[in-house]
Chain A
Amino acid sequence: MSECFWGWSMREDLRKNGESGGFVSSLIESLIGDYDRVISVRKTGTVFEGKVVDLKDSSDVKGIQGALHSLCINMSAYIKKGMRTAIVLKPCDAKAVIENMKRNHVDRGDVLLIGLNCGGTLSPVNTMKMLDVEYELRPDEVVKEEISKGNLIFFTEDNEFSKSIDELEESGYGRRESCRYCNYKIPSVCDIACGNWGTPAGGKVTFVEIFTQKGEQAVRSAVEMGFVSVEAPSEKLVMVRSKINSSMKKLARSWKGKVLDPIMELSPIDRLNYITNTLSPCIGCYACRKACPVCNCTGDCKCLQMDPDDVLPIPQYHAVRLLHLMESCIGCGNCTDVCPVDIPLARLHQLFAKAYEDRTGYKPGMSADDVPPLSRGDIPEGH
Chain B
Amino acid sequence: MIADGVEDEEKWLSAGIAGLQQNAFYMHRALDSNNLKDALKYSAQMLSELRTSRLSPHKYYELYMRAFDELRKLEIFFKEETSRGCSIVELYELVQHAGNILPRLYLLCTVGSVYIKSKEAPAKDVLKDLVEMCRGIQHPLRGLFLRSYLSQVSRDKLPDIGSEYEGDADTVMDAVEFVIQNFTEMNKLWVRMQQQGPAREKEKRGKERSELRDLVGKNLHVLSQIEGVDLEMYKEIVLPRVLEQVVNCKDDLAQYYLMDCIIQVFPDEYHLQTLETLLNACPQLQASVDVKTVLARLMERLSNYAASGAEVLPEFFQVEAFAKLNNAIGKVIEAQENMPIAGVVTLYASLLTFTLQVHPDRLDYVDQILGACVKKLSGREKLDDSKATKQIVALLSAPLEKYKDIDTALKLSNYPRIMEYLSDGTHKEMANVIVQNIMKNKTCISTAEKVDALFELIKGLIRDLDGDSQDELDEDFIEEQNYVARLIQMLHSDDPEEMLKIIQTVRKHILTGGRKRLPYTVPPLIFSSLKLVRRLEGQDESVSGDEASTTPKKIFQLVTQTIEALTSIPVPELALGLYLQCAEAANDCDLEPVAYEFFTQAYILYEEEITDSKTQVTSIHLIIGTLQRMHVFGVENRDALTHKATGYSAKLLKKPDQCRAVYACSHLFWLDDHDSIRDGERVLLCLKRALRIANAVQQMSNATRGSSGSALLFIEILNKYLYFYEKGVSQVTVESIQDLIKLIRNEMQGETSPSDPAADAFLASTLRYIQFQKDKGGAVGDKYKLIIV
Asked if chains A and B come from one complex, the reply is no
